[in-house]
Chains A and B, each alone.
Chain A
Amino acid sequence: MSLLLLFTFSTFGADRPIGASTYVPYYAGILFGMNPEDYTYLREIEKAGAWEGVMLLGVFVGGLITSIFITKSFRFSVLPDAWKRYKNSSVKSRLIWSFFSGFLLITGARLAGGCTSGHFLSGMSQTAFSSMIFGGVVLVTLLITGKLFYNTRGSK
């Protein structure tokens, strides 16, 4: 993990940090047929979005190859085991919550200007204060939400 980050940062690699959330609005812009000339944000992310767009294609392919040939974990599934145990067994509930939380995830990441990869991994490795603030807030919210959202007491 570290080696990959170091390589990406280095001039031998890409001379830039890894990020993995700018690609979402970039793809959204493509899918919704938005012309970059009409939207400030699309112009701002034109380069970063393209870079991450390509990287994430790689991530998808890398995940696919590994899950089929190495970890052999590829199968179609809807409900994660822990969801069944600590939340409910409703497919509808999981899909709706997924959609909603995916929406939150990207909106939050874009507001903060980064996600787990960009802020945690790349940002904190550079000892950036912005990333530490983000990391701290996410950590606390994550733990509070986990306690409130899931039924962790009683069932085992």
Chain B
Amino acid sequence: MSMGEYFNFILTRTESMYNTVQLEGHGSFWLVFFIGIFFGAIIQYSRIDKFEKIAGFAMGKDTIVPKILFLAIGITSIALYFEIQMGYASYHIKPIMLQGLILGGIIFGIGMAIIGKCPGTGPISIAEGRIDVLFGAFGGILGGWLFTKYYDDFFKPLMGNNYGKATLMSVSGDYATLFVFVFGIALILIAILIPKMELPDDDGPSLEHDEKVKAGNR
């Protein structure tokens, strides 16, 4: 492929990205873009994209990430249940590819502990000017390329059998409502009960802590 052809290819693909989203019926281009902006802004504002937050959790020195995650999942699981009951949403379950989940989980966990980011917070850190994470993105792109290239021959067989899309709700039958509540409330409780620990860095602790310190100084 010549330089000009390559450039054309990128343009065509970018245009097709726009069209795919626009025509897919999962929100217009701008809606999806704004969901992204809010996602980025919330995470940047809460500062959970910091290396110290995820790597700190891996070291057992920072518990902000699990607290926020469990709280968000707990609340969402209950609220989503109602949203779906009222017909305003539907479930989108990922299948249980047991081997892929376990292997992927291990590889993902190791990577996450070292880089201190997840694929969602990475771009936010890059936007903040973190060069090291940009290198992580190069690695990620390489990973994505290899995965795509050897998907049929290597990666797909590695993911193993599909054991269906069971959920806590689908196996609990008549008790589904009860189970969702127990699940949601249990997660919220876990989030509250995890002791709060923060790993300090040059920027100082998270905003919430910052405000407490300011309040204390007054």
A residues apposed to B, CB below 8 Å: 1-2, 4-18, 20-21, 23-34, 39-42, 46-47, 49-51, 53-67, 70-71, 73-83, 86, 94-95, 97-147, 149-150, 152
Contact = CB atoms under 8 A, between A and B. Distances in A.
A101 B142 CA distance: 11
B42 A71 contact: no
Residue of A15, A71, A130, A139 with most chain B CB atoms under a 10 A cut-off: A130
A9 B90 CA distance: 7
Contact of A105 (B43, B47, B76, B115): B115
A58 B131 contact: no
A146 B147 contact: no
A58 B44 contact: no
Interface of B: 1, 6, 9-10, 13-14, 16-18, 20-21, 24-27, 29, 31-45, 47, 49-52, 54-61, 68-69, 72-73, 75-77, 79-80, 83, 88-98, 100-133, 135-149, 151-152, 155-156, 158-159, 165-169, 179-180, 183, 199, 201-203, 207
B190 to A, nearest CB: 12
19 contacts: A9-B83, A28-B142, A30-B17, A33-B6, A50-B20, A54-B17, A59-B37, A63-B123, A76-B131, A106-B111, A106-B143, A108-B104, A108-B105, A111-B103, A115-B120, A121-B73, A127-B183, A133-B105, A142-B54
A39 B35 CA distance: 29
Contact of B148 (A11, A41, A51): A41
Nearest to B139: A102
Nearest to B113: A145
A7 to B, nearest CB: 8
Contact of B155 (A10, A32, A104, A111): A111
B49 A63 contact: yes
B13 A30 contact: yes
Contact of B140 (A24, A94, A143): A24
Contact of B94 (A6, A23, A131): A131
A3 to B, nearest CB: 9
Nearest to A116: B118
A113 B95 contact: yes
B120 A152 contact: no
The binding surface of chain A is classed by DSSP as helix
Contacts of B89: 6, 9-11, 15
Contacts of B168: 127-129, 132
Contacts of A75: 128-129
B44 to A, nearest CB: 4
Given A62-B41, A143-B58, A152-B61, A113 B100 contact: yes
A111 B32 contact: no
Given A27-B141, A147-B59, 10 more contacts: A21-B120, A41-B151, A50-B16, A51-B26, A58-B34, A60-B36, A82-B52, A98-B114, A104-B107, A120-B73
A40 B76 contact: no
Contacts of B138: 99, 102
A146 B44 contact: no
Given A12-B88, A80-B116, A127-B168, A50 B21 contact: yes
Nearest to A62: B40
A79 to B, nearest CB: 7
